[in-house]
Amino acid sequence: APPIPAVPPAIAATQAEVAIAVANVVAFGSVGMLVYPHVAAALFPPSDSRAIGLFLGLAVHDTAQVMGCAASYAEQYSDAAVVGAAAVAKLTRNVFLAAVVPLMAVRHAAGATGGVTAKTFAAAVPAFVGGFLAMAAVRTLGDAQLANGGSALFAFDSAQWKGGADWLGAVLGTKVLLSTGLAAVGLSVNFAAFHGAGLAPFAVGAAGASVVGGVGLSVALLMASLAPAVPA
């Protein structure tokens, strides 16, 4: 859950607060992984991979769960393009954390003793956003070089570049590292911290997950109606 590791140092969250946040993400994201692929299949035309990927990328909170949800759809409905569309939608959301999390840190520190420090600000900037931007830049550069008649990164022809990118994304990333990421999310839940929390935080989490899912579905349906997919 990318925002969760980044936000606690920024706002001095307690272990119990972090545990409850992670548990909400795991619980409702897991429900989304099971349900949303079938919702997408029922509500969107099967040819509209962009809209389906957009829905899955917006409706689920955690990046690993988004990829799991998209991979589940791709496996059940034979549409690998959904994985890429969902990844772009979710990682575009993640990019905005580079602005939102430091802003939260500044607002929190403004009311705390000592104000904003370089250490506080640095801890608030999620490192994975930089990694995503770097990998997107590498892929864009390679594709541009091939389009201009050269070799990707001055070393790979079109078949090698596409094969390597597909292996890194569809095999290593989606099928190998995704399982590790989901396991890490689950292992980060500390049930001892729930003592005395009650059901209220999970009611709030359910409401939040419902709003996020509803907004994601509405945006994707709007896009599908405004720019319908052209059958291949």
Backbone angles phi, psi at 96, to 5 degrees: -70, -15
In this prediction, residue 32 has a pLDDT band, given cuts at 50, 70 and 90, of: very high
Q: In the structure, what pLDDT confidence band is assigned to residue 219 with cuts at 50, 70 and 90? A: very high
Mean local confidence (pLDDT), 183-188: 67
Amino acid 82: pLDDT: 94
Name 158's bridge partners: none
Inform me whether the pLDDT recorded for 2 exceeds 80: no
Amino acid present at 48? D
Q: What pLDDT digit, counting tens, does each position of 53-91 carry?
A: 999 999 998 888 898 899 899 999 999 899 889 988 998
Place of tokens 């359910």: 206
Tokens of 191: 């049930």
| Single-letter amino acid code for the residue at 92 | T
Going by pLDDT thresholds of 50, 70 and 90, the confidence category of residue 27 is confident
Q: Comparing C-alpha atoms, which of 175, 179, 153, 155 is closest to residue 166? A: 175
Cα–Cα–Cα angle for 50, 64, 91, rounded to 5 degrees: 50
Q: Is the pLDDT of residue 181 over 90?
A: no
- Tens of pLDDT along 126-176? 566 677 778 888 989 999 999 999 999 999 999 999 899 888 876 787 667
Instruction: Please tell me the distance from the alpha carbon of residue 221 to that of residue 219, in angstroms, as a whole number.
Output: 6
> Which residue from 21, 20, 30 is spatially nearest to 183, judged by alpha carbons?
30
Helix ranges (H only) for 13-77 are 15-43, 49-59, 63-77
Residue 209 confidence (pLDDT): 93
**Nearest C-alpha neighbor of 98 from the set 25, 14, 2, 178:** 2
Please give the structure tokens belonging to residue 50: 């962009």
Determine the Cα–Cα distance for residues 207 and 76; give it in Å rounded to an integer: 29
Handedness of CA 162, 144, 73, 44 (dihedral sign): negative
Q: Looking at the predicted structure, is the pLDDT value of residue 118 above 60?
A: yes
Token duo for residue 218: 């509405």
> Interior CA angle at 186 toward 182 and 189, to 5°?
150
Give the phi and the psi of residue 222 in degrees, each rounded to 5. -65, -45
Q: What is the mean pLDDT of the chain?
A: 81
What pLDDT is attached to residue 69? 93
Q: Which residue has the higher pLDDT, 71 or 17?
A: 71
**Residue 177: per-residue pLDDT:** 75
Question: Is the pLDDT assigned to residue 221 strictly greater than 60?
Answer: yes
Q: What is the DSSP letter of 44?
A: S
Is it the case that residue 105 has pLDDT exceeding 80? no
Name the DSSP class of 155: T
Tens of pLDDT, residue by residue over 199-208, are: 888 899 999 9
Give the type of residue at 118. A
